[in-house]
Amino acid sequence: KMIPRAMVKGLRARSGRKGFCRGYGEYVADFEDIIKAAERIRGIAKETPVLTCRTLDRMYSHEEGSRLFFKCENFQKTGSFKFRGALNAVSALVEENPHLKSLRVVTQSSGNHGQALAACAKVRDVPATIVMPHTAPSVKKAAVMGYGAQIVE
């Protein structure tokens, strides 16, 4: 399903600006960005289910007839929604820099984001370095290394 253009314009209007995030900047995706992202991740990211629960609707919906929807990204590769964002980012980096002979992605994470970036970098054949605290769970470190990323503590 498509996201109504009015919703996207509303997001942009509330933010007051649109631009690329460098450091602590702000970025609000426009409609075309969303379509491009969907195309980049199609066929690689899983289409996870959207579930409902009538009991929770009754308990937590504040208006009559309101519904709660649960997007089950825990079924996504690497177990979280972060795979989608990382895949889009790495794919865009590769698409936008075909002239570069070597790319490397680097992030700091103690868990899910590092794991997601490592997995996506492997899919796109881009080396990854994940900076992780020495206190990060060993299972997360093992997953990052399992995707072929280098860990720096």
User: Which pLDDT belongs to residue 5?
Assistant: 41
Render pLDDT for 116-139 as a digit per residue (tens, 0 to 9). 999 999 999 999 999 999 999 999
Helix (H, G, I), strand (E, B) or coil at 108: strand
How far is it, in rounded angstroms, from Cα 100 to Cα 78?
Answer: 28
Whole-structure pTM value: 0.76
Reported confidence tier of residue 27, pLDDT bands at 50, 70, 90:
low
How far is it, in rounded angstroms, from Cα 124 to Cα 97?
Answer: 13
Residue 119 CA, distance from chain mean position? 12
- Catalytic sites, residue numbers: 82, 110
Phi, psi of 71 (to 5 degrees): -85, 110
Render pLDDT for 73-105 as a digit per residue (tens, 0 to 9). 999 999 999 999 999 999 999 998 888 878 899
Residue type, 57: D
Domain boundaries, the chain: 1-42
